[in-house]
Amino acid sequence: MVPVPEPDLTKLREIFITRRHQSGLTFDQLAELSGIGRQTLLNISSAKYNGDLRTWLRLSKAFNVSLDELLADVWP
């Protein structure tokens, strides 16, 4: 049996920053679109918080990409 690799959660900050810049959304716009609090988004951006599954599902909808596409870079 092949072990499942651990995700590299340190990449979440980079993924978030890249997608937000690509989208052209401000923190306020992204908060409104995703339903995630502005402070939570700022905390993800500064790596103070990684978010949970619900957070990333909402972000994938806001960025109009699948969750798999959004989080692909966390897997080695």
pLDDT at 76: 83
Domains located in the chain, CATH noted = 9-74 (1.10.260.40)
Q: 43 and 15 in contact (C-beta within 8 Å)?
A: no
pLDDT at 12: 97
| Residue 2 pLDDT class (50, 70, 90 cuts) | confident
pLDDT score of 29 more than 90: yes
Residue 62's H or E segment, with its range, is helix 53-62
pLDDT at 10: 95
pLDDT score of 68 more than 90: yes
